[in-house]
Structure 1
Amino acid sequence: MVWCCHQAMKLYIVGLVLALVATTWSSAIPKPDEHKNRAYDKDLSDQQHEREGDHNNGYDHDAFLGREDAKSFDQLTPEESKERLAIIVDKIDKDRDGYVTEKELQDWIHYVQRRYIVTDTERMWADHETEGDKLTWDSYKKRTYGFLDEDLPPDHPNHSYKEMMDRDKRRWAKADKDQDNTLTKDEFTDFLHPEEAEHMRDVVVMETLDDIDKDKDGFISLEEFIGDMWPNKEGEEEPEWVKSEREQFSTFRDKNNDKKLDQDEVKEWIMPPDYDHSLAESKHLIHESDVDRDGKLTKEEILESYDLFVGSQATDFGEALTRHDEF
């Protein structure tokens, strides 16, 4: 389980986590080599769960609070951390029995992760000109790629933007369930976060192949697999985690032993059907802080391990404490 978290983080740290449509999220569009406009099965944090074999609490903070709230907890004193964590614990303990169970913790983690998606969609939706309750492709394209000449030759410096737009168009078509070339807000959510929608999973696979399959043969070789995670620098010794990834590729990823990954193998690799990030993290947090080993946490046990859940430093009260929406 620990390895799976570690593997997922190593794979998808290639771009800004949750920058799923990097070209759309600011008025200044980044250069193609600055962000990978790839959909992926996002993890709970853009941080590694382990660093060189040592546990990284930053991952747990992102998972438990959500990325934005985790930032707001970065400069709290221990006393402030515990005070505000206690308020969150009361929200997690839905049945008010004085214990936080694995299911309650899992539900909370899922809630804070989903909250980001909803907030992000609302922000992006407001940034575009909609027609009633729908956004047209032409409006989206104008807002995002209005600067782009679509008839660029392949050797033009801006041709990479053309590839980004083509990728967006393919994702748009998949998100457009009724095929009217417009997106409702729900469909736009699927467009921005395809890893969250079952019918968008093929897009996630195709975008992964697009980025990693350098020789464009429709497969991911071991060299491409490793090169995407760890661009080898001349004279730099290969880290242990990379050696582990090589072994995992041959032992678990390449199911038919043909030394490459096809679409089905890529799908199982990036979206394992039997792995739930929120459940894995809730199990981890309970394992690390359950002093009496009864399989659930009291508020006292959580506060005793406050540094695992929220850290000891933050700048403001944190959205998890001030929001009035229902959990």
Structure 2
Amino acid sequence: MLFLYFRVDVNRDNFIEQLELENWIVLKVNEHFDEAAAENDKVFQMIDTDNDGGITWNEFQVEFLVALGKDRELAMKSNIDDENLKISDKDREKLVRFKFRWSEADRDPQDNVLGIDEFKAFRHPEQSKHMLDNMVTDIVASLDRNGDGIVTEEEFIALPPGEVEAEFKEADTKWQEERRKEFRENIDMDHDGKTSLRELQRYVDPRNPHNALLEAENLIRLTDADADGKLSLEEVVSNIEVFIGSKMMNTGRSFHDEF
């Protein structure tokens, strides 16, 4: 941790300022993209043993089960519901989630076989335009209350349906103010009071520097005990669990947790 801290602290003043943290996160995101592309090719070639340029779901499932320590022969003869596999509920649920993501990545054609680019979209959805477009579609569907295919500022800040309890009114008001600020400053770039698909695509793109800014702001907000706007080594070490799950320390896992 000490080594990482001083790598982020570029100006060597023994503090991590927000801009230093933003720049580090941008660097780690770009590294993650480059490393994922190289790793994807290797994993694909390892699973595609017949070199036909495609991986079936069954081939992937076998490798998933073997990675859990299951006998390859048994894995090849089994399916997800086979009690003989004796896998944990957590691993079974993970495999189910993978199956849904597999279907999303399987595009051209939809044949339950993934080519190398589709396989990359499956393993690293944060790098796939198609998967990001699906995320945008989900955002619109969840926020577009009148069904016109457009998310307005008022729809973006709207509270869930139902009566607002008095004890939560102040917190709800603050949440709406933060959402309004986010909408105006980081989503609605042409300031017309509504979002276009292009604006939302830019907003969810992991390589958008805006996302590094938000991550840095959030990390400082959560761990800056003396509220001086920067992080000392003590503040980072005492909040290590916050940083372990962040893009500062574990960029790849933080993306995949999001997806």
Q: TM-score, normalised by structure 2?
A: 0.44
> Which structure: greater helix fraction?
2
Structure with more relative contact order (C-alpha pairs < 8 Å, separation 6 or more): 1
Q: TM-score, normalised by structure 1?
A: 0.37
